[in-house]
Amino acid sequence: MNYEKIEELLILHEGKKKFVYRCPAGKLTVGVGRNLEDKGLSEDEIEYLLQNDIKECISDLTKIFDNFFKLDDVRQAVLIDMRFNLGPTRFRSFKRMIKAVKEQDFQRAAEEMKDSKWFKQVKQRGQRLYEMMKTGKWWE
| Host domain of residue 119 | 65-135
| DSSP for residue 19 | E
Average pLDDT over residues 15-25: 95
- Specify the DSSP class assigned to residue 51: H
Give residue 19's pLDDT. 97
In a domain, residue 21? The reply is no
In this predicted model, what pLDDT tens digit does every residue of 90-110 receive, in sequence order? 999 999 999 999 999 999 999
Residue type, 18: K
Q: Looking at residue 88, what is its pLDDT?
A: 98
46 is a domain residue: no
Give yes or no for residue 140 having a pLDDT over 90.
Answer: no
| Domain-embedded: residue 2 | no
Asked whether residue 19 is domain-assigned, the answer is no
Tell whether 32 is covered by a domain.
no
Q: What does each C-alpha distance from 86 to 6, 116, 139 come to in angstroms?
A: 38, 12, 20
pTM, two decimals, is 0.91
How many domains does the chain contain in total?
1
**What is the CATH classification number for the domain harbouring 70?**
1.10.530.40
Q: Which of 47, 37, 45, 105 is nearest to 71 (CA)?
A: 105
In a domain, 56, yes or no: no
Q: For the residues of 57-125, what is the DSSP string, one character each? A: HHHHHHHH-TTGGGS-HHHHHHHHHHHHHHHHHHHHT-HHHHHHHHTT-HHHHHHHHHSSHHHHHHTHH
**Domain contains 54:** no
CB 75 within 8 A of CB 106: yes
Tell me, yes or no, whether 71 lies in a domain.
Answer: yes
